[in-house]
Amino acid sequence: MSTSREKVLGRIRQSLRRGPLEEQTRARLEARLSAHATHSRIAFTADAVERFIDKAQSQAATVARVASAAQVPDAVADYLKSHNLPATVAAAPALRGIEWPRHLTVAFGATRGEHEAAVTPCLAAVAETGSLVLLSGEDSPTTLNLLPDNHIVIVNRSQVVRDFETVWQTLRERDAPLPRAVNLITGPSRTADIEQTIQLGAHGPRRVHIILVDDGEGSG
Amino acid sequence: MQFTSVDFQRNVSKALNDPFLQQALQRGMHGFVGKRADAVSAVPEFEQLRDEARDIKNHTLTYLDYYLEKFEASVTRLGGHVHWASDAREARELVLEICRKAKAKTITKGKSMAGEEIDLNEALEAAGHEVVETDLGEYIIQLAKEPPSHIIAPAVHKTRDQVSDLFHEHHRALGFEQRLTEVPALVDEARQVLRRKFLSADVGITGANFLIAETGSNVIVTNEGNGDLTSTLPRVHVVTAGIEKVLPTLEDMTVLMRVLARSATGQEASTYTTVFSGPRRAGDRDGPEEYHVVLIDSGRTAILGGEFQDILRCIRCGACLNHCPVWGSVGGHAYGWCYSGPMGAVLTPLLKDLEAAKHLPNACTLNGRCEQNCPVRIPLPALLRKLRHRQYEARLTSAMTRYGLRLWTFLATRPALYRLAFAAVARSLRVLGGRRGALSRVPFAGGWTAGRDLPVPQGTTFQSQWRARNES
Ligand code: SF4
């Protein structure tokens, strides 16, 4: 195995007509990596929260705004009712702290798709594109984002950021390696593979519903 | 897949005479161009982003060894494994070995052009594994036992009716009796069939749109979410990727991501862009226990550092196919390998076989729309011209073309003779064309006039007009 490795690296250097990089060059490349230089961003003047809502809706996500965290459980229940869904959800263990209404059955943990709806938090919401950023982890299993037909995501106003560059910066500030999966999700799953007709609900959620909690300041 | 580029001319006439294909191309392809144009004109930064995307890719290629070693170290630190494959055979063997060790029965696959390139499915099936493509388009062509005809819309050559037939034929045994005809119903049936496969798969194999050196990640971009399910549910996740996929940082990737979605489908962002880094962590409740990346050379290092290096910037967005009049008329299968259109006409001779693929670089009108729309500014027409040149030098060009070119060179380097000769040709064509002003047969150009008439030149030659203009 290591011989193929040496072979490929050797061919690269041969094609580039040089040997292994000199210390100086390596130091320059190290510096480039740790600088995390950003490039052009997509400029916009709109308020970040308004833009996020706009963009998310344009990608077929739905948005409900609530004034405070205390109203989240009711907003979840309302959503389930309006779609004639059973009063059962799978939820990220990170949401254990919420006071869930008694009539709602909440299963904390991962899912194999036996749940029709899942509720999760997110790391951030990106105004540039209307994307949600979710991290895998003990408190937020990835299967919740993918297998149930309905994905309900709780976004605090303060989590709305302007662009992806801000997300990468936030991730680095956690001072840990990246989690196994960082999901950037923009609306529900879709396909255009049959006659280029867009159809929602290809393999992932058929619906993505965002509950935006208005207390707390937007960082955009 | 069968490699049929050598039969390009036969493939083309078959494609032009296939009413289903022509219908599918007409229905499927008209949307791409307009959607890209809208998405691009909505962001004033787009041209700047293209420059940056090109520069980031060039930078990475210049220090490719450094970034690959960096990537390897980062993956290893997370508990993942990096394997190096110098050619397609080695890549297949590495993946087979991982699947054998995992005692894999069912293997799900996310769309991977690198996988197509190395004929991975055939190898896995021959070794007794059940392989299931999960991108809906790839799944359709897997049922039809066909190769992809487009790098991002693999089944664009199929009509809805043909998909109905395929599903009816293959899903009956799974308890789906009815032949469905509407798109939502067809998508839903495939969802149900594939959901079972996702949940029962032992190994998931995906490609990578990008690899990130600093973080040891592979990035997968899809609209269906099939890449995510393939990477999350099985016990083992294998990534197959060409060595040119690596990028330094997430900030660099962001630029490529912005141009990719807009160029491919005219979206601002694809539905799912996922950054995967290593296997499941202590405490995680889902995700694969093993994470492998197979880095594939298979001809890429031979392109690096040479006159065709620009093609290694390609991010497989499909824009050059969507804007190519030749691709639009004949579809992807005619090209005879997994890559088609302008990027395929460059890559197939270089990665596969210069001689067998000799027709591809010549099947180009040099209209330049591919280059105009390429997000990483690959000068595709120039590369195609260089390939023609290389064919000429390797004596792959037909004797008649070579004589023709030599005769033309002889005349073109002798201006006075050139003027005389072409004035004479124009005159005699005019005489032969008669009152109709067109010829239905021309010596040495039977192939060209078989399908159309040659209009005879009108008026004086360009050179004499130019002279007259400059004198007045
Ligand atoms: S050559 Fe350019 S336009 Fe064509 S697929 Fe590659 S990146 Fe896209």
Give chain A positions within 8 Å (CB) of B153. 192-193, 196
Is the model's pLDDT at B176 over the cut of 60? yes
* CA B411 to mean position of chain CA atoms: 39
B8-158+202-300: what fold? Rossmann fold (3.40.50)
Q: Which residue of A has its CA nearest to B27?
A: A195
* CA B95 to mean position of chain CA atoms: 23
Closest CA to B77 of B203, B214, B211: B214
For the whole model, what pTM was predicted? 0.92
- When CB atoms are compared, the residue of A32, A55, A113 closest to B199 is A113
**Least reliable range by pLDDT among A195-204, B70-79, B289-298, B304-313:** A195-204
In one letter, which amino acid is A94? A
pLDDT at site B27: 79
pLDDT tens digits, one per residue of B34-49: 999 999 999 999 999 9
**Interface subset of A 125-164, CB within 8 angstroms of B:** 128-131, 136-138, 141-143, 145-147, 164
Pairing state of beta strands B210-212 and B217-222?
Answer: antiparallel
**Least reliable range by pLDDT among B14-28, B131-145, B258-272:** B14-28
Secondary structure element (H or E) that encloses residue B20, with its range? helix B19-41
Choosing among B40, B206, B255, B286, which should be mutated to test the A contact, i.e. which has the most A CBs within 10 A?
Answer: B286
Q: Looking only at Cα atoms, what is the longest distance across chain A?
A: 70
DSSP state of A152: E
Burial class (CB in 10 A: 0-12, 13-18, 19+), B301: buried
Average the pLDDT over A17-45 and give the result. 97
Q: How far is the CA of B316 from the centre of ligand 1 (A)?
A: 5
Are the C-beta atoms of B198 and B288 separated by less than 8 Å?
no
- As beta bridge partners, residue B82 has B293
Place of tokens 């579809």: B331
Q: How far is the CA of B135 from the centre of ligand 1 (A)?
A: 20
Angle (deg, nearest 10), helices A23-35 and B64-77: 60
Domain spans in chain A, listed from the N-terminal domain onward: 3-34, 48-213
Q: What percent of chain B has pLDDT over 90?
A: 78
pLDDT at site A216: 61
Is the model's pLDDT at B465 over the cut of 50? yes
Closest CA to A80 of A133, A118, A33: A118
Are the C-beta atoms of B311 and B104 separated by less than 8 Å?
no
Long-range contact list for A16-19, CB < 8 A, 24+ apart? A16/B62, A16/B64, A16/B65, A16/B304, A16/B305, A17/B305
Average the pLDDT over A45-63 and give the result. 97
Q: Give the mean pLDDT of chain B.
A: 93
Is there an atom of ligand 1 within 6 Å of B292 CB? no
Is the model's pLDDT at B457 over the cut of 90? no
Is there an atom of ligand 1 within 6 Å of B315 CB? yes
Give chain A positions within 8 Å (CB) of B252. 39
Q: Which residue of A has its CA nearest to B242?
A: A8
pLDDT tens digits, one per residue of B154-168: 999 999 999 999 999
List of residues 6+ apart from B361 with CB closer than 8 A: B345, B346, B349, B384, B385, B387, B388, B391
Average the pLDDT over B452-467 and give the result. 80
pLDDT tens digits, one per residue of A132-168: 999 999 999 999 999 999 999 999 999 999 999 999 9
Distance from CA of B358 to the nearest CA of A (A): 24
Closest CA to B304 of B27, B16, B64: B64
Give the pLDDT band of residue A217 (cuts 50, 70, 90): low
Token couple for A176: 């840990």
A33 at interface of B, judged by CB pairs closer than 8 A:
yes
Yes or no, beta carbons of B52 and A8 under 8 Å apart: no
Token couple for A55: 């963009």
pLDDT tens digits, one per residue of B303-337: 999 999 999 999 999 999 999 999 999 999 999 99
For B429-447, b/e burial (b = at least 16 CB within 10 A) is: beeebeeeeebeeeeeeee
Q: What percent of chain B has pLDDT over 70?
A: 99
Cα separation, B312 vs B457, in Å, equals 42
Under 8 Å CB pairs connecting chains A and B tally to 257
Is the model's pLDDT at B451 over the cut of 80? no
For B365-399, b/e burial (b = at least 16 CB within 10 A) is: eeeebbbebbbbbbebbebbebbbebbeeeebbee
Average the pLDDT over B116-138 and give the result. 96
pLDDT tens digits, one per residue of B72-112: 999 999 999 999 999 999 999 999 999 999 999 999 999 89
pLDDT at site A219: 43
In one letter, which amino acid is A172? R
List the residue whose alpha carbon is closest to atom 4 of ligand 1. Answer: B320
Closest CA to B275 of B206, B214, B211, B198: B211
pLDDT at site B314: 98
**Least reliable range by pLDDT among B246-255, B276-285, B296-305, B396-405:** B396-405
pLDDT at site A220: 41
Q: How far is the CA of B309 from the centre of ligand 1 (A)?
A: 14
Q: What count of other Cβ atoms lies within 10 Å of the Cβ of residue B81?
A: 17
Cα separation, B142 vs B395, in Å, equals 38
Is there an atom of ligand 1 within 6 Å of B316 CB? yes
What phi and psi, each to the nearest 5 degrees, are found at residue B47?
-65, -40
Total residues belonging to chain B: 472
The number of the ligand 1 atom at minimal distance from the alpha carbon of B264 is 8
DSSP state of A133: E
Pocket test for ligand 1, best of B57, B263, B312 (most atoms within 8 A of CB): B263
pLDDT at site A215: 82
Average the pLDDT over B451-471 and give the result. 81
Cα separation, A166 vs A168, in Å, equals 6
Total residues belonging to chain A: 220
Is the model's pLDDT at B471 over the cut of 90? no
Angle (deg, nearest 10), helices B136-143 and B160-171: 70
Secondary structure element (H or E) that encloses residue B465, with its range? helix B462-471
Yes or no, beta carbons of B83 and A1 under 8 Å apart: yes
Yes or no, beta carbons of B226 and A168 under 8 Å apart: no
List the residue whose alpha carbon is closest to atom 6 of ligand 1. Answer: B314
Give chain B positions within 8 Å (CB) of A197. 183
B330 at interface of A, judged by CB pairs closer than 8 A:
no
* CA B75 to mean position of chain CA atoms: 28
Are the C-beta atoms of B135 and B143 separated by less than 8 Å?
no
**Interface subset of B 56-75, CB within 8 angstroms of A:** 56, 62-66, 68-70
Are the C-beta atoms of B108 and B204 separated by less than 8 Å?
yes
pLDDT tens digits, one per residue of A93-117: 999 999 999 999 999 999 999 999 9
pLDDT at site B463: 80
Cα separation, A201 vs B69, in Å, equals 39
Angle (deg, nearest 10), helices B183-200 and B160-171: 40
Q: How far is the CA of B384 from the centre of ligand 1 (A)?
A: 14
Are the C-beta atoms of B298 and A11 separated by less than 8 Å?
no
Token couple for A41: 């961003």
Tell me the three state secondary structure of residue B41.
Answer: helix
Closest CA to B439 of B458, B452, B422: B452
Cα separation, B289 vs B278, in Å, equals 9
Yes or no, beta carbons of A199 and B183 under 8 Å apart: yes
Closest CA to B211 of B311, B30, B86, B64: B64
What phi and psi, each to the nearest 5 degrees, are found at residue B224?
-85, -30
- When CB atoms are compared, the residue of A41, A165, A197 closest to B183 is A197
Token couple for A12: 């690269």
Is there an atom of ligand 1 within 6 Å of B375 CB? yes
pLDDT tens digits, one per residue of B327-366: 999 999 999 999 999 999 999 999 998 888 999 999 999 9
Give the pLDDT band of residue A2 (cuts 50, 70, 90): low
Yes or no, beta carbons of A8 and B183 under 8 Å apart: no
For A2-20, b/e burial (b = at least 16 CB within 10 A) is: eebbebbbebbbebbeeee
Domain spans in chain B, listed from the N-terminal domain onward: 8-158+202-300, 400-471
Secondary structure element (H or E) that encloses residue B409, with its range? helix B399-412
Q: What is the ipTM of this complex?
A: 0.96
Yes or no, beta carbons of A181 and B258 under 8 Å apart: no
In one letter, which amino acid is A83? H
> Where are the strands (E) in B252-410, listed by range?
272-276, 290-296
pLDDT at site B405: 83
Tell me the three state secondary structure of residue B265.
Answer: helix
Q: What percent of chain A has pLDDT over 70?
A: 97
DSSP state of A61: -
Place of tokens 């009049």: B325
Torsion angle, alpha carbons of A72, A168, B203, B92, to 10: 160
What phi and psi, each to the nearest 5 degrees, are found at residue B181?
-125, -20
Q: May I ask the CATH architecture of the domain A48-213?
A: 3-Layer(aba) Sandwich (3.40)
